């Protein structure tokens, strides 16, 4: 009985932390004016928010085969999301002619 409450609290903390990172992402995307700052805020929420929410789902689910699949999904997202964000930012930096007008380089 006590272990179930501990597992529930650990899962709830992970889910709440993921929600906080999603809220930070939402505020950052709409608050920042420049596309690189927006991309940075979106990448943080994408990696940490999604990872923590899925980790909370693993804790809630317990030890099962679906938990292993969710852990593989977390690893896949942590490996691909920063690379995709980096490539989009690199495209913006290379295609913008007057980068100094928008942000200090």
Domain ranges of the chain: 2-102
Q: State residue 56's pLDDT score.
A: 94
Residue located via tokens 């940075």 = 40
Return the H-helix or E-strand segment holding 39.
Answer: helix 35-44
Percent of the chain with pLDDT over 90: 42
pTM of the model as a whole: 0.80
Residue with the larger pLDDT of the pair 101 and 74: 74
> Quick check: 41 pLDDT over 60?
yes
Q: State residue 104's pLDDT score.
A: 62
> Quick check: 105 pLDDT over 60?
no
Q: What is the mean pLDDT of residues 10-21?
A: 95
Residue with the larger pLDDT of the pair 64 and 10: 10
**Which of 41-45, 52-56, 93-97 is predicted least confidently?**
93-97
Closest alpha carbon to 57 in 42, 72, 44, 79: 72
Residue 102, SS3?
helix
Sequence-separated contacts (24+) of 96-102 with Cβ below 8 Å = 102/34
Average pLDDT over the chain, rounded to an integer: 87
Q: Which residues contact 6 (CB under 8 A, 6 or more apart)?
A: none
């Amino acid at each position: 009985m006590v272990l179930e409450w501990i597992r529930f609290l650990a899962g709830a903390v992970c889910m709440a932390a993921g929600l906080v990172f999603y809220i930070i992402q939402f505020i950052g995307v709409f608050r920042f004016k420049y596309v690189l700052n927006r991309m940075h805020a979106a990448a943080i929420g994408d990696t940490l928010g999604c990872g923590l929410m899925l980790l909370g789902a693993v804790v809630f689910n317990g030890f099962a085969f679906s938990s292993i699949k969710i852990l593989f999904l977390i690893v896949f997202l942590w490996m691909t999301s920063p690379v995709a964000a980096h490539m989009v930012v690199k495209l913006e930096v290379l295609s913008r002619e007057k980068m100094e007008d928008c942000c200090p380089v």
